[in-house]
Structure 1
Amino acid sequence: MNIEQTVMEYLRKLPPDKQQEVLDFTQFLNQKMSLPKPDPNLTPEQKSANWLAWIDSHQSSNPPLTDESLEKFVEKSAEQNQQLTPEERTQNWLAFVETLPKQSANLPDEALHRDTMYD
């Protein structure tokens, strides 16, 4: 029996929700393998320029918070959270997580590689 047959045998024994987890994990692995490797010939200045271009491309849709607006946001969030039960807070968190992109961390591909992690 080869690996594929063994995996399929175990997969068939799992309940549907666990089968979905296996599917999600295999999709994650495929995505991870398909990420392009960063160019090792880029200078630190070019890497910085790439990051700055990425930041600029996201600032129009995500305007920066001022200290005052951030403070108000934190205060309001804390007030709202105090009124919720732990179960309600958990449901809110899970609902927020569901809104996040399924296939991307919204970071440039270069940021997701170990080769550039420690530059």
Structure 2
Amino acid sequence: MNTEQLLLNKWRDLTADKQQEVLDFVDFILHKSTPEKHVPLNSLTTAERVKQWIDWAESHEKDSPGLPDDALRRDSIYED
């Protein structure tokens, strides 16, 4: 049995939520292995920069912890 068939057989034994986890993992691996093309920000339009920023923000988990309130105080941002 080849690797593809083995993977497909195991895939069929998974629940729908576990199948989604596998898909997410494969997407992660594909994204990680695809070299990103660096484009200087000053060569992008405002709309393109906004889209990149939104894409970056949406790439983070929604339920990840934010910064604590004291991290945003002015005295904690600047060193004396």
State the TM-score, normalized to the length of structure 2.
0.46
Larger helix percent: 1
Where relative contact order (Cα < 8 A, 6+ residues apart) is larger, the structure is: 1
